[in-house]
């Protein structure tokens, strides 16, 4: 029997021969069972081989990605976050590695800093590979993602941390490899359409399912629980039979993929072949044999034995041998497959194709290695790799060979240093590994080579070599010339340091090439550059000045001094743009530095910040301009409001006539609406005059802002985000006027974003904030309100004009909005300012004095409802038309009215009513009576007669601050002109409730 022992299939064939002597039925049934087992066995071999091959491909991908990212992480351009250089390098690497979808460099918040390809999405913080690389500080693989570059296709993502000297991540390198290549692998196998290949991540989520079946096996969703339970956390390949998500029973094979032998699987490779497809041929053979059992039993046994040996055992052994060669890395295969037909032939051909593909990939990796070596050789720095155990040099780039020769294969301490009897005492290997012996952060140091005498700035890091051993990668940049230059200027810098620090103006000294030598503290603050950062750089790079009006770059003052040899002074203030983009207005002068022979050796530049001075001057001009308009507005407001009062009142009385036709009522209502709009215009004009002084109450800005933000931004394509601290201080404001400020600033922001955008509204408490304008009273504490948009912005030459009346940059605007805002804020003892960058948006900031009182409760007391009662009301006004109109309104409301043209007559009427025991319930007084006693004087006399008298002050305009502080003058409420019927109704109702405060 040993002569026919050919493994499991051979034993089964031998068993068939023994069974051939059994009754015909038993032979046929056994033959059918044998065929089923044979088909399942073949299928197991196939699916295991396919999953094994897919796992090998994936492992090569992981190693390739790790090698590329770890190499990029060592580049100085990446470590210094040189975005422009990183973009160039990444694009070059992508061009050489078509399998990579993209390479990005992100900060630790996930924001993309550099990218090989352009794409809109700019934050990768939510990705698993990013989070793990940041947390573990080592190479990490992601879970299921849809690529955000180009077409949204499934991809495998990788991340590698860029570490600082302390081993802490400063940035994250990421890349992703499309899973689409496995689709091509499936097509090459030419499998049945119900056979699939799949990849799942460590949670059982499908990354790839091919051919795609989104209805039953969608990518991005978890596989069924039974299948996941069978392979979850398995470290070795497996196979089982189960019903799939689409209801088809299949033979499943899986193979886990790990980043390292100790790690848990990151991915699982799957292959599934329908059981019906496998058993279908066997069932057909069984049916056929039942029909032919009498005539072909003997022939079938002989043929099955011969064909089984030739068609099954030999090809399978060849496939197993071929797979073993692949596992050992031997990709040499026969030119033609040994088996040409059937599924085994298809699988054999697929393995041949797979070997060819692996060979191509291997060649690609070798080419990548060549490209990376070329990249290393192009660096102007010594780059070498040495074994951390044997100290043998494994690699040195071309620059290093020019400096110290080709020392590959030698011991580093023997060829790179002199007079060493063993490993160097200053060797940095001990700093590159943690307590567990794993690689940690980059170690940087400066060292003078003992052979060449050259100084180098060195960056060392431990990495795993391609064979798994630990090596040290060192990048050494020659800084000898820099050391010599530093030594020469150190003495001069020390002599000037004390003098420069004591000067209150900014001081910068340069050489004759306009390179910066020294800067004092003030200059560092104004430019945003430290002396260390600026030393050796061109003056135009650090001292960036532009014309205040045109924003055009100014000529280098050093060049002017060198050309003339004399001291120059700036004719007018210029704008200095600091490193972080801040703008300061400065005045400066520049003088030549002469040596003992009178030769010019450099230039000293002295400048000071005049921003505050210019802002104060502009603010004074602005306030003066607004005050002039206020005089005009105040002169018009009083007479205009009296006229409007008569118009609005008569219109409202007319509307009460029940005999009016619908058409007439419609026309009259239109006239009323127009009159009310005229009233709003009057209110805007009043803000320019002292007559529009605010009626202040303690309130919180939060609710006021939210009310106007909701109403202004509703039903628009603009998003508004609000941010307020819980402990925001209350302020003393006129809610109506300050509401205009908020509304107009929000509308202004919306107009600046016609295509949509974002508005950010925030408030914060500011302690001891000094005011910039001498006329604005200082406050120990202030509340700051900021409204920022992402609109078109405002040109710098227009910023000092935007608060001017009738100046507007918006087409639909009339130019009063910001002027009104400025007037209202100023009358609240506050200040308003704006910062804007064209194309990026504007930020308006309002400062208001903080109140020491608590704000009013947001829930007002519910007034009691009482039945209206008939009142006796005294009306004092110098305009007969207004007196008659008011009487008509109040009479229609059911009240008795008494008239007086001035204060003297009003007092007489009031006394007479008291003497007749019919006292006046309510008095409405005009504040100003030309040539007679007005309300301010009359109310005092009236209160002497009756201290409990209820007196309301009414006015369209007044230079007297009575309207803003009416209670201090004896009044219990105010009534602004023009007044509507509803105003009288509301006032009477509140009087009935014994609550006349406004």
Q: How many CB atoms lie within 10 A of CB 591?
A: 15
Is residue 144 exposed (0-12), middle (13-18) or buried (19+ Cβ within 10 Å)? buried
Counted domains in the chain: 5
Is 370 inside any structural domain? Answer: no
pLDDT confidence of residue 960: 56
From edge to edge, which strands make up the β-sheet containing 196-201?
Answer: 206-210, 196-201, 267-274, 249-257, 238-243
- pLDDT, tens digit, for every residue of 866-903? 445 788 999 998 888 888 888 888 888 888 899 998 98
pLDDT over 70 at 411, yes or no: yes
Q: The domain spanning residue 830 has which CATH number?
A: 3.30.565.10
Rounded CA-CA distance 791/794 in Å is 9
Q: Which 3 state secondary structure label does DSSP give 172?
A: strand
Between strands 872-876 and 922-926, the pairing is parallel
pLDDT over 60 at 549, yes or no: yes
For residues 682 and 715, membership in a common domain is answered with: no
Is 554 inside any structural domain? Answer: yes
Task: Report the largest interatomic distance among the alpha carbons of the chain, rounded to a whole angstrom.
Answer: 144
pLDDT confidence of residue 309: 61
For residues 604 and 498, membership in a common domain is answered with: yes
pLDDT band with cut points at 50, 70 and 90 for residue 764: very high
Per DSSP, 868 falls in state -
Tell me which residue of 406, 363, 316 sits closest to 12, measured CA to CA. Answer: 316
Rounded CA-CA distance 218/938 in Å is 86
pLDDT over 70 at 753, yes or no: yes
For residues 788 and 932, membership in a common domain is answered with: no
Which residues neighbour 756 within 8 Å (Cβ) at sequence distance 6 or greater?
A: 716, 717, 718
**Residues 511, 602 contacting (CB under 8 angstroms):** yes
Listed residues 799, 834, 849: the one ending a domain: 849
pLDDT band with cut points at 50, 70 and 90 for residue 998: very low
pLDDT over 60 at 339, yes or no: no
Which residues neighbour 949 within 8 Å (Cβ) at sequence distance 6 or greater?
A: 910, 920, 923, 942, 943
For residues 557 and 651, membership in a common domain is answered with: no
The beta strand positions in 599-730, using DSSP E, are 600-609, 697-699, 718-723
Q: The domain spanning residue 982 has which CATH number?
A: 3.40.50.2300
pLDDT over 60 at 859, yes or no: no
Look at 207-211, 515-519, 689-693, 911-915 and tell me which has the smallest mean pLDDT: 689-693
Is 454 inside any structural domain? Answer: yes
Q: The domain spanning residue 652 has which CATH number?
A: 1.10.287
Segments forming the whole domain that contains residue 889: 872-992
pLDDT over 90 at 66, yes or no: no
pLDDT confidence of residue 595: 79
Q: How many CB atoms lie within 10 A of CB 601?
A: 14
pLDDT confidence of residue 681: 60
pLDDT confidence of residue 763: 94
Which residues neighbour 319 within 8 Å (Cβ) at sequence distance 6 or greater?
A: 45, 49, 344, 347, 348, 351
Q: The domain spanning residue 398 has which CATH number?
A: 3.30.450.20
Tell me which residue of 84, 81, 126, 112 sits closest to 174, measured CA to CA. Answer: 112
Is 954 inside any structural domain? Answer: yes
pLDDT over 60 at 773, yes or no: no
What does the pLDDT average to over 809-819?
58
pLDDT confidence of residue 805: 63
For residues 811 and 751, membership in a common domain is answered with: yes
For residues 782 and 719, membership in a common domain is answered with: yes
- pLDDT, tens digit, for every residue of 286-300? 666 666 666 555 565
Q: Which 3 state secondary structure label does DSSP give 875?
A: strand
pLDDT confidence of residue 304: 61
What does the pLDDT average to over 661-681?
73
**Residues 259, 266 contacting (CB under 8 angstroms):** yes
Is residue 495 exposed (0-12), middle (13-18) or buried (19+ Cβ within 10 Å)? exposed
Residue 762's DSSP bridge partners are: 723, 786
Greater model confidence, 435 or 172: 172
Per DSSP, 431 falls in state G
pLDDT over 90 at 785, yes or no: yes
Rounded CA-CA distance 333/324 in Å is 12
Greater model confidence, 634 or 603: 603
Structure tokens at 253: 């094979």
Rounded CA-CA distance 270/513 in Å is 67
pLDDT band with cut points at 50, 70 and 90 for residue 150: very low
pLDDT confidence of residue 672: 74
pLDDT band with cut points at 50, 70 and 90 for residue 161: very high
Greater model confidence, 976 or 701: 701
For residues 625 and 642, membership in a common domain is answered with: yes
Residue 103's DSSP bridge partners are: 175
For residues 412 and 503, membership in a common domain is answered with: no
For residue 971, how far is the Cα from the chain centroid? 55
pLDDT over 90 at 786, yes or no: yes
Look at 592-606, 755-769, 832-846, 852-866 and tell me which has the smallest mean pLDDT: 852-866
Is 470 inside any structural domain? Answer: yes
Half-sphere exposure of 621 (CA within 13 A, CB side): 10
What does the pLDDT average to over 805-833?
71
For residues 529 and 594, membership in a common domain is answered with: yes
pLDDT band with cut points at 50, 70 and 90 for residue 812: very low
Per DSSP, 690 falls in state G
Query: What 3 state SS string does 33-45 have?
Result: HHHHHHHHHHHHH
What does the pLDDT average to over 552-572?
81
Residue 199's DSSP bridge partners are: 208, 269
pLDDT over 50 at 959, yes or no: no
pLDDT band with cut points at 50, 70 and 90 for residue 280: low
Q: How many CB atoms lie within 10 A of CB 217?
A: 20
What does the pLDDT average to over 323-348?
65
For residues 667 and 626, membership in a common domain is answered with: yes
Tell me which residue of 42, 34, 56, 48 sits closest to 272, measured CA to CA. Answer: 48
Listed residues 641, 666, 686: the one ending a domain: 686
What does the pLDDT average to over 768-773?
53
Is 967 inside any structural domain? Answer: yes
pLDDT over 60 at 933, yes or no: yes
**Residues 940, 908 contacting (CB under 8 angstroms):** no
pLDDT confidence of residue 867: 44
For residues 721 and 820, membership in a common domain is answered with: yes
pLDDT confidence of residue 667: 75
Is 659 inside any structural domain? Answer: yes
For residues 591 and 549, membership in a common domain is answered with: yes
pLDDT over 60 at 8, yes or no: no
Question: Mean pLDDT over all residues of the chain?
Answer: 77
Residue position matching structure tokens 């530049």: 605
pLDDT confidence of residue 844: 92
Is 304 inside any structural domain? Answer: no
pLDDT over 50 at 6, yes or no: no
pLDDT confidence of residue 995: 45
pLDDT band with cut points at 50, 70 and 90 for residue 847: very high
Q: Which string of DSSP letters, residue by residue, matches 776-842?
A: SPP-SEEEEEEEEE-SS---GGGTTTTTSTT--SSTT--S-HHHHHHHHHHHTT-EEEEEEETTTEE
Rounded CA-CA distance 176/142 in Å is 9
Q: What angle do CA 493, 498, 503 make, to 5 degrees?
A: 110
Q: Which 3 state secondary structure label does DSSP give 513?
A: coil
Listed residues 849, 881, 914: the one ending a domain: 849
Rounded CA-CA distance 14/692 in Å is 112
pLDDT confidence of residue 639: 64
């Amino acid at each position: 029997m040993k002569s026919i022992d050919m493994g499991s299939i051979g034993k089964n064939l031998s068993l068939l021969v023994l069974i051939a002597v059994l009754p015909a039925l038993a032979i046929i049934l056994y033959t059918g069972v044998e065929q089923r087992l044979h088909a399942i066995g073949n299928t197991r071999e196939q699916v295991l081989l396919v999953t094994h091959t897919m796992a090998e491909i994936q492992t090569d991908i992981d190693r390739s990605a790790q090698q590329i990212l770890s190499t990029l992480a060592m580049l100085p351009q990446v470590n210094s976050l040189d975005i422009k250089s990183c973009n160039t390098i990444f694009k070059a690497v992508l061009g050489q590695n078509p399998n990579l979808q993209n390479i990005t460099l992100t900060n630790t918040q996930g924001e993309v800093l550099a990218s090989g390809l352009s794409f809109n999405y700019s934050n990768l913080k939510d990705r698993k590979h990013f989070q793990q690389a940041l947390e573990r500080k080592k190479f990490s693989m992601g879970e299921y993602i849809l690529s955000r570059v180009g077409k949204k296709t499934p991809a495998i993502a990788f991340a590698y941390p860029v570490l600082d000297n302390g081993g802490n991540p400063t940035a994250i390198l990421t890349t992703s490899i499309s899973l689409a290549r496995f689709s091509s692998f499936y097509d090459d196998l030419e499998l049945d359409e119900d056979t699939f290949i799949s990849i799942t991540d460590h949670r059982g989520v499908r990354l790839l399912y091919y051919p795609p079946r989104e209805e039953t096996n969608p990518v991005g969703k978890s596989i069924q629980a039974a299948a996941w339970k069978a392979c979850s956390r398995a470290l070795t390949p497996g196979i089982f039979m189960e019903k799939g998500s689409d209801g088809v029973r299949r033979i499943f094979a899986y193979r886990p993929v790990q980043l390292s032998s100790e790690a848990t699987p990151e991915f699982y490779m799957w292959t599934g072949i329908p059981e019906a497809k496998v058993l279908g041929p066997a069932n057909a053979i069984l049916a056929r044999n039942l029909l032919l059992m009498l005539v072909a039993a003997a022939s079938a046994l002989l043929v099955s034995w011969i064909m089984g040996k030739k068609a099954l055992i030999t090809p399978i052994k060849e496939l197993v041998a071929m797979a073993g060669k692949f596992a050992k890395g031997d990709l040499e295969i026969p030119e033609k497959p040994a088996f040409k037909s059937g599924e085994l032939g298809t699988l054999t051909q697929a393995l041949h194709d797979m070997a060819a593909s692996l060979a191509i990939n291997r060649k690609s990796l070798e080419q990548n290695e060549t490209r990376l070596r070329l990249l290393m050789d192009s660096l102007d720095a010594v780059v070498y790799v040495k074994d951390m155990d044997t100290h043998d040099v494994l690699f040195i780039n071309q620059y290093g060979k020019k400096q110290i020769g080709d020392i590959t294969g030698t011991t580093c301490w023997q060829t790179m240093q002199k007079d060493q009897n063993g490993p160097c005492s200053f060797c940095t290997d001990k700093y590159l590994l943690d307590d567990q012996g794993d690689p940690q952060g980059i170690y940087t140091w400066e060292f003078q080579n003992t052979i060449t005498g050259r100084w180098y700035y060195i960056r060392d890091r431990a990495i795993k070599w391609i064979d798994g051993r630990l090596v040290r990668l060192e990048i050494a940049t020659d800084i000898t010339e820099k050391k010599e230059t530093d030594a020469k200027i150190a003495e001069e810098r020390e002599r000037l340091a004390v003098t420069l620090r004591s000067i209150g103006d900014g001081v910068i000294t340069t050489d004759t090439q306009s390179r910066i030598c020294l800067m004092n503290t003030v200059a560092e603050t104004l430019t945003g550059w430290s002396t260390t950062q600026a030393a050796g750089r061109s003056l135009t790079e650090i001292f960036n000045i532009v014309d205040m009006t045109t924003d055009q770059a100014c000529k280098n003052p050093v060049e002017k001094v060198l050309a003339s040899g004399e001291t120059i002074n700036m004719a007018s203030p210029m704008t200095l743009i600091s490193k972080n983009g801040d703008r300061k207005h400065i005045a400066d002068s520049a003088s030549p530095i002469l040596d003992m022979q009178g030769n010019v050796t450099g230039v000293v530049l002295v400048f000071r910040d005049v921003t505050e001075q210019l802002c104060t001057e502009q603010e004074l001009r602005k306030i003066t301009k607004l005050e002039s308009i206020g005089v005009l507005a105040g002169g018009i407001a009083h007479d205009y409001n009296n006229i409007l009062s008569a118009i609005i009142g008569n219109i409202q009385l007319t509307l009460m006539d029940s005999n009016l036709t619908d058409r007439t009522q419609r026309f009259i209502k239109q006239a009323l609406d127009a009159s009310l709009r005229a009233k709003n215009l009057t209110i805007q004009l009043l803000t320019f005059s002292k007559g529009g002084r605010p009626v202040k109450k303690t309130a919180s800005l939060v609710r006021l802002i939210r009310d106007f933000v909701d109403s202004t931004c509703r039903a628009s394509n603009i998003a508004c985000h609000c941010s307020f601290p819980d402990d925001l201080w209350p302020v003393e404001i006129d809610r109506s006027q300050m509401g205009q400020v908020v509304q107009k600033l929000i509308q202004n922001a919306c107009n600046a974003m016609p295509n949509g955008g974002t508005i950010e509204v925030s408030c914060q408490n500011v302690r001891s904030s000094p005011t910039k304008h001498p006329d604005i009273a200082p406050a120990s504490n202030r509340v700051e309100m900021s409204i920022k948009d992402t609109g078109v912005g405002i040109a710098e030459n227009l910023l000092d004009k935007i608060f001017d009346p009738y100046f507007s940059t918006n087409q639909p605007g009339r130019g009063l909005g910001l002027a009104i805002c400025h007037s209202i804020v100023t009358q609240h003892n506050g200040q308003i300012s704006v910062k804007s960058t064209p194309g990026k948006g504007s930020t308006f900031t309002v400062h208001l004095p903080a109140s020491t009182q608590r704000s009013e409760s947001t829930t007002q007391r519910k007034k009691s409802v009482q039945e209206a009662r008939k009142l006796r009301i005294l009306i004092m006004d110098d305009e007969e038309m207004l007196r008659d109109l008011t009487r008509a309104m109040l009479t229609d409301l059911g009240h008795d009215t008494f008239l007086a043209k001035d204060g003297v007559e009003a007092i007489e009427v009031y006394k007479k009513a008291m003497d007749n025991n019919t006292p006046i319930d309510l008095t409405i007084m005009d504040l100003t009576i030309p040539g007679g006693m007005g309300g301010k004087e009359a109310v005092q006399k009236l209160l002497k007669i009756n201290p409990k008298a209820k007196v309301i002050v009414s006015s369209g305009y007044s230079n007297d601050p009575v309207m803003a502080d009416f209670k201090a003058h004896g009044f219990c409420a105010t009534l602004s002109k023009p007044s509507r019927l509803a105003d009288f109704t509301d006032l009477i109702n509140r009087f009935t409730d014994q609550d006349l405060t406004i």
